[in-house]
Amino acid sequence: MHDATKVLLGTTTKDQRVIDNVPGTIAAGLAVRSKSDGTYTVAHSDGATIGVSVGASLSGHSRTAVCREGLGVAIQLTSAFTPTVGAQVAISDTTGKAIGYTGSGDRYFNASYASGVLTGIAEDGSEVNVALIDFPGGL
Contact at 8 Å (CB) between 104 and 50?
no
Residue pLDDT, tens place only, 66-82: 888 899 999 999 988 99
For residue 95, is it within any domain? Answer: yes
Q: Which domain holds residue 107?
A: 6-135
Of 127, 63, 53, the closest CA to residue 91 belongs to 53
How high is the pLDDT of residue 118?
A: 94
- pTM of the model as a whole: 0.86
In the chain, which residue ranges form alpha helices assigned H by DSSP? none
Residue 112 maps to a domain: yes
pLDDT band for position 60 (cuts 50, 70, 90): low
Considering only 5-9, 33-37, 89-93, 119-123, which range has the smallest mean pLDDT? 5-9
Number of structural domains (the chain) is 1
Whether 74 is covered by a domain: the verdict is yes
Mean pLDDT to the nearest integer, 9-14: 69
> CATH number, domain at 86?
2.40.300
- Report if residue 1 sits inside a domain: no
